[in-house]
Structure 1
Amino acid sequence: MGITLNTTSQSGSRKSRFNYPIDFKKQLSIAASATGVSVVRLTQHNGINANMQHK
């Protein structure tokens, strides 16, 4: 079940904090709402904390 999206990130205004492109966020939200997808696994495969996905 490895769903990995394009994670081209840009540095934000704070050090070590990234702002992901809106297209990436939309793709991740659509993938997370699919039937049978584990949000935790989806976020792990894309290098994002699961708490951030739920926000």
Structure 2
Amino acid sequence: MLAAVAVEGEQEARAIEVMRRQGAAQIERAEGNIEQGDWKDFDPLSVPQFI
């Protein structure tokens, strides 16, 4: 399952904490634009930046 969370600043640490507590196996950081619930510039071929 893939879940994307849009956060800014201090929210990132909290989002990572929640995902780890829920058993996330891999968490990565990516940048992009989410518009009306869609990640408009998502590139599935980009190299993951795992946290």
Same fold (TM over 0.5): no
TM-score (norm 2): 0.44
Higher strand share: 2
TM-score (norm 1): 0.42
